A and B are shown apart, each in its own frame.
Chain A
């Protein structure tokens, strides 16, 4: 059991670091379906894994100078408010409602990963980041509020909102947007995690081996990232998210999802 959780954490952390996501999208459904955790506990426990990925990989991205710390901290003003409010709301929601929303999030994430794999198929890893001027802070703050809300409600899902908004509307290069989103995830997830923890929705026995695995996986992934073709990892992740969405829908229909 402990070793399985370490392995789950290492895989989710590794893939998360390679693709630039928190990994909660994979961890929450696996904890809920195969480790028998109630939805609220699965989300609260996976939030700790998300903090770990962000914390462990952010220092690597900061050293490569691809993180916009000022932009990240500005948008955190909104993600943290969204995260705190949604984490409180999640406490009043039925576990099946959370499961349905999570299935939708899995499908949406798969879609956004497909788009990214398609757009990035000819992309060459650039050595230099072009100079940029951040625009439309208002829109960015609004999107961050929603992204934080997803983090608080479902423990993940902020990245697929923040990254496209920063990239498409705020004039931020894609690599900077991904690194900055990853940087923000730690503070955002921590804000929700305090509320889940206070409510008793964090399973420490499961979280400890999970977090240890996530740490090992994400530092490895972050160091491998410049050398690995991310499209292969993207296709793997698309397959996994769709499989998990299908499994979750089946279990939900059978009434087996607690």
Chain B
């Protein structure tokens, strides 16, 4: 049962890594022809890259809850709270 959570977290990380790479690579290629499209794709890729660690915490949290592992669900929730607090505190004023 421990293996299931590993699998889900692995899938989320894999999807985030490949997805952000695809967006960034497409953006770099598009930049040569249409810079506006290219920069949009690169930004989307960066957002996905930055969001992936958070998504994998959420995936672990849901998986621990489903397994009834309350202790580690709580640990995941704690990590999520710290990371989300840091990201909210980091949002520049006026943007």
Pairing of A with B? yes
Binding site for B on A (CB under 8 A): 2, 48, 51-52, 54-56, 58-59, 62-63, 65, 67, 69-70, 73-74, 76-77, 80-81, 83-84, 87, 186-187, 189-191, 193-195, 197-200, 204, 207-209, 211-212, 215-216, 219
Asked if residues A186 and B3 are in contact (CB atoms below 8 Å), the reply is no
Dominant secondary structure at the B interface: helix
Given contacts A62-B10, A69-B5, A195-B90, contact A48 B60 (CB under 8 A): no
B residues less than 8 Å from A207 (CB atoms) = 46
Asked if residues B79 and A77 are in contact (CB atoms below 8 Å), the reply is yes
Given contacts A51-B53, A55-B49, A73-B79, contact A212 B86 (CB under 8 A): no
Asked if residues A73 and B24 are in contact (CB atoms below 8 Å), the reply is no
B residues less than 8 Å from A56 (CB atoms) = 13, 17, 21
Asked if residues A198 and B6 are in contact (CB atoms below 8 Å), the reply is no
Asked if residues A51 and B49 are in contact (CB atoms below 8 Å), the reply is yes
Asked if residues B86 and A84 are in contact (CB atoms below 8 Å), the reply is yes
A residues less than 8 Å from B54 (CB atoms) = 187, 190
Binding site for A on B (CB under 8 A): 2-3, 5-7, 9-11, 13-14, 16-17, 20-21, 24-25, 27-28, 42-43, 45-46, 49-50, 52-54, 56-57, 60, 72, 75-76, 78-79, 82-83, 85-87, 89-92
Asked if residues B82 and A81 are in contact (CB atoms below 8 Å), the reply is yes
A193–B35 alpha-carbon span in the complex (Å): 25
A61–B93 alpha-carbon span in the complex (Å): 39
Q: Which of A51, A73, A190, A191 contacts B72 (CB 8 A)?
A: A73
A193–B52 alpha-carbon span in the complex (Å): 13
